[in-house]
Structure 1
Amino acid sequence: MNYLAHLFLSGNDNELLVGNFIGDAVKGKAFSNYSRRIAMGIKMHRAIDSFTDNHKVVLKGKERLYPRHHKFSGVLVDLFYDYFLCKNWLKYSEEPLEMFIRNKYQILEQNIESMPPLSQLIFHKMVEDNWLSSYQNVIGISKALNGLSKRTKFQNNMKNASSDLLLHENLYDAEFNCFFPQIVDFCNSYKIRHGQT
């Protein structure tokens, strides 16, 4: 999953949210350097990614992209799903999307000193360009794809992947709405199992 989904799936626990946000930047057992709940957020981030990467609905989306995008197909599905989370926001949240985004930016800003340097850089860029809000439309997704393409050292065609999104938009939308309630349930169960509701 991409940034918006990870933040949404964290629920209302601020430290869990911080851990989920920095999850990609914390490797191996380095989560032990953080508070218990931030560490839980890091581990939850990994659990979300594992659940997502192995889910049959997500795998269908990756397979559809594979002929043009090969190993980057998973990254693209993750980003596409943030677009569909925005598009379907009111199905999953009573809080207006823009209010949610402002609140999460504020929480992350308040916890910036807890983040590793890479996550701090990502956060500042995210706020500067308002990534989370930009995922609401294809223009914003195209900008994100162009940025991903430039930052990736391997040859790729990600900057043109918005055409794949538009070509199969209804199909990805249906797949997202099949998958997302399942990841919500998975995360709710994860939090209960680990003593956090």
Structure 2
Amino acid sequence: MNFLAHLHLADNSQTSLAGNLAGDFAKGNIQDFAKPLQQGIWLHRQLDQLTDEHEISRDLIRQFPKKYSRIAPVLMDLAFDHMLARYWDEYHGDTLEVFTQRAYEELAQTPDLPEKLSKLVPVMRQQNWLLAYESRTGLNDAILGVGRRFSKPELFVGADKVVKQMDTDIEIAFRTLYPQLMAYSRILSRKTPDDYL
């Protein structure tokens, strides 16, 4: 899952939006981060692990052409955000536009974010990355953007076309797995990182 899914799962589990998004940027011991962010970072890590180890994810990743096997997990995460945005009304009571503006506002007002995320938030908001996931063009832009930041950007050449060709398989995997992740997020939100230390 990428940014939008982690924010949605945070909202779904009534945990910190900023903390859950910070999970991608927070390296090392959870206790090194501000207390309000700790549970969100922990929940993010738990959900990433559940997703990575789930048979549905593994089956979908195996369906990608061999040329893209190294980046298939990244492409799956981005495509899942697209699916969530595309069918947003089925998963949330607010419109996607209302939710994304609330998320940007909370992120902008949260102190002690990891430095990379703190620098990224104004760019995300200005270019409205979260709402952009709703369209195929927005998904393609996200794939290109991630590719540019990757150590081997050439791995992403043609990736947008592959993701489009796999649209049905990705949607089936998303619709099967994502409700489980929503349930897991609510269950895990009743625990704290301290329960596992």
Same fold flag (TM > 0.5): yes
Q: Counterpart in 2 of 1:180?
A: 178
Q: Counterpart in 2 of 1:127?
A: 125
Structure 2 runs not aligned, ≥5 long: none
Q: Which one is further off, 133-142 or 34-43?
A: 34-43
- The 3 A distance-change label for structure 1 pair 66 and 44 is farther
Residue-pair matches, total: 193
Q: Name the TM-score, length of structure 1 as normaliser.
A: 0.91
Question: What's the % identity of the aligned pairs?
Answer: 26
CA distance in 1, matches of 2:15, 2:47: 17
Structure 1 runs not aligned, ≥5 long: none
CA distance in 2, matches of 1:73, 1:90: 27
CA distance in 2, matches of 1:95, 1:18: 18
CA distance in 2, matches of 1:134, 1:42: 24
SS at match of 1:114: coil
Relative contact order higher in (CA < 8 Å, ≥ 6 apart): 2
Measured after TM superposition, the shift of residue 37 of structure 1 is 3.5
Which of 131, 135, 143 is the matching residue for 1:137?
135
Per-residue Cα deviation, 1:145-184 (whole angstroms, up to 9, x for no partner)? 1111111122533242221222121221111000000000
- The 3 A distance-change label for structure 1 pair 12 and 67 is closer
Per-residue Cα deviation, 1:29-84 (whole angstroms, up to 9, x for no partner)? 1x213343410111111101100111111112211125121221101100000000
Root mean square deviation, CA, Å: 1.9
Measured after TM superposition, the shift of residue 190 of structure 1 is 0.1
Higher helix share: 1
Q: Counterpart in 1 of 2:21?
A: 21
CA distance in 2, matches of 1:50, 1:180: 14
Q: Name the TM-score, length of structure 2 as normaliser.
A: 0.91
Contact 1:15 1:37 in 2 (8 A): no
Contact 1:15 1:38 in 2 (8 A): no
Q: Counterpart in 1 of 2:167?
A: 169
CA distance in 2, matches of 1:3, 1:96: 17
Question: What is the 5 A alignment of 1:60-139?
Answer: 60-111=59-110, 113-139=111-137
